[in-house]
Structure 1
Amino acid sequence: MSYQVIARKYRPKTFEDITAQEHITRTIQNSLRMGRVGHGYIFSGLRGVGKTTAARVFAKAVNCQKIIEDPEYLRTVTEPCGECESCRDFDAGTSLNIAEFDAASNNSVDDIRTLRENVRYGPQKGRYRVYIIDEVHMLSIAAFNAFLKTLEEPPPHAIFIFATTELHKIPATIASRCQRFNFKRIPLEEIQKQLQMICNAEGITVEPDALQLVGRKAHGSMRDAQSILDQVIAFSVDRQNEGGISYSKVAELLNYVDDDHFFAVTDAVLERNPSAMIDTAQFVIENGYDEQDFLEKLIEHLRNILMVQNLRSPRLVERPDAVRERYLRDAERFSPGSVMQMIDLLLNTSRELKFQFEYRFRFELALLKLIDLASGGATSGASAEAPGTPQKKKPVMQH
Structure 2
Amino acid sequence: MSYQVIARKYRPKTFADITAQEHITRTIQNSLRMGRIGHGYIFSGLRGVGKTTAARVFAKAVNCQRIIEDAEYLRTVTEPCGECESCRDFEAGTSLNISEFDAASNNSVDDIRMLRENVRYGPQKGRYRVYIIDEVHMLSIAAFNAFLKTLEEPPPHAIFIFATTELHKIPATIASRCQRFNFKRIPLEQIQQQLQQICDAEKIAVEPDALQLVGRKAHGSMRDAQSILDQVIAFSVDYENDGAISYAKVAELLNHIDDDHLFAVTDAVLARNPVGMIETAQFVICNGYDEQDFLEKLIEHLRNILMVQNLRSTRLVERPDPVRERYQLDAARFSPRSVMLMIDLLVQTSRELKFQFEYRFRFELVLLKLIDLAGESALSASATDVAAGEPQKKKPALSR
Query: TM-score per shorter chain, which class?
Result: over 0.9
Q: Which stretches in structure 2 are left out of the alignment for 5+ residues?
A: 387-400
* Secondary structure of residue in 2 paired with 1:16: helix
Structure 1 residues 228-377: aligned runs within 5 Å = 228-238=228-238, 242-377=242-377
Per-residue deviation, 1:237: 1.7
| 2:156 alignment partner in structure 1 | 156
Structure 1 residues 183-202: aligned runs within 5 Å = 183-202=183-202
| 1:168 alignment partner in structure 2 | 168
Task: For 1:398 and 1:131, locate their aligned partners in 2 and report how far apart those are by CA, in whole Å.
Answer: 66
Per-residue deviation, 1:354: 1.5
Task: For 1:354 and 1:283, locate their aligned partners in 2 and report how far apart those are by CA, in whole Å.
Answer: 20
Task: For 1:396 and 1:185, locate their aligned partners in 2 and report how far apart those are by CA, in whole Å.
Answer: 44
Per-residue deviation, 1:306: 0.2
Per-residue deviation, 1:20: 0.1
- CA deviations 1:346-379 (Å, max 9, x no partner) are 001001112221110000000000001111456x
| 2:392 alignment partner in structure 1 | none
Q: Which stretches in structure 1 are left out of the alignment for 5+ residues?
A: 381-392
Task: For 1:248 and 1:397, locate their aligned partners in 2 and report how far apart those are by CA, in whole Å.
Answer: 46
Task: For 1:239 and 1:123, locate their aligned partners in 2 and report how far apart those are by CA, in whole Å.
Answer: 52
Structure 1 residues 48-59: aligned runs within 5 Å = 48-59=48-59
Per-residue deviation, 1:242: 2.1
Which amino acid in structure 2 is aligned with residue 333 of structure 1?
R
Structure 1 residues 60-71: aligned runs within 5 Å = 60-71=60-71
| 1:132 alignment partner in structure 2 | 132
The 8 Å contact of residues 204 and 241 in structure 1, kept in 2 or not, is answered as no
Runs of 4+ residues deviating >3 angstroms: 238-241, 393-399
Per-residue deviation, 1:243: 2.5
Which amino acid in structure 2 is aligned with residue 288 of structure 1?
G
What is the number of equivalent residue pairs in this alignment?
386
Task: For 2:242 and 2:31, locate their aligned partners in 1 and report how far apart those are by CA, in whole Å.
Answer: 47
Which amino acid in structure 1 is aligned with residue 220 of structure 2?
G
CA change 1:238–1:260 in 2 (3 A) is closer
* Secondary structure of residue in 1 paired with 2:276: helix
| 2:390 alignment partner in structure 1 | none
Structure 1 residues 209-228: aligned runs within 5 Å = 209-228=209-228
* Secondary structure of residue in 2 paired with 1:319: coil
Which amino acid in structure 1 is aligned with residue 316 of structure 2?
L
| 1:387 alignment partner in structure 2 | none
Greater helix content: 2
TM-score by length of 1: 0.95
CA change 1:320–1:397 in 2 (3 A) is farther
Task: For 2:162 and 2:381, locate their aligned partners in 1 and report how far apart those are by CA, in whole Å.
Answer: 61
The 8 Å contact of residues 207 and 247 in structure 1, kept in 2 or not, is answered as yes
Per-residue deviation, 1:332: 0.5
Task: For 1:240 and 1:118, locate their aligned partners in 2 and report how far apart those are by CA, in whole Å.
Answer: 57
CA change 1:121–1:265 in 2 (3 A) is same
* Secondary structure of residue in 1 paired with 2:42: strand
Percent identity, aligned pairs only, is 88
Task: For 2:325 and 2:221, locate their aligned partners in 1 and report how far apart those are by CA, in whole Å.
Answer: 27
| 1:388 alignment partner in structure 2 | none
* Secondary structure of residue in 2 paired with 1:162: strand
- CA deviations 1:298-354 (Å, max 9, x no partner) are 000000000000000000000000000000000000110110000000001001112
Per-residue deviation, 1:238: 4.7
Q: CA RMSD in A?
A: 1.6
| 1:383 alignment partner in structure 2 | none
Which amino acid in structure 2 is aligned with residue 91 of structure 1?
E
- CA deviations 1:75-134 (Å, max 9, x no partner) are 000000000000000000000000000000000000000000000000010000000000
Task: For 1:15 and 1:243, locate their aligned partners in 2 and report how far apart those are by CA, in whole Å.
Answer: 33
The 8 Å contact of residues 339 and 377 in structure 1, kept in 2 or not, is answered as no
Task: For 1:366 and 1:158, locate their aligned partners in 2 and report how far apart those are by CA, in whole Å.
Answer: 58
Which amino acid in structure 2 is aligned with residue 309 of structure 1?
Q
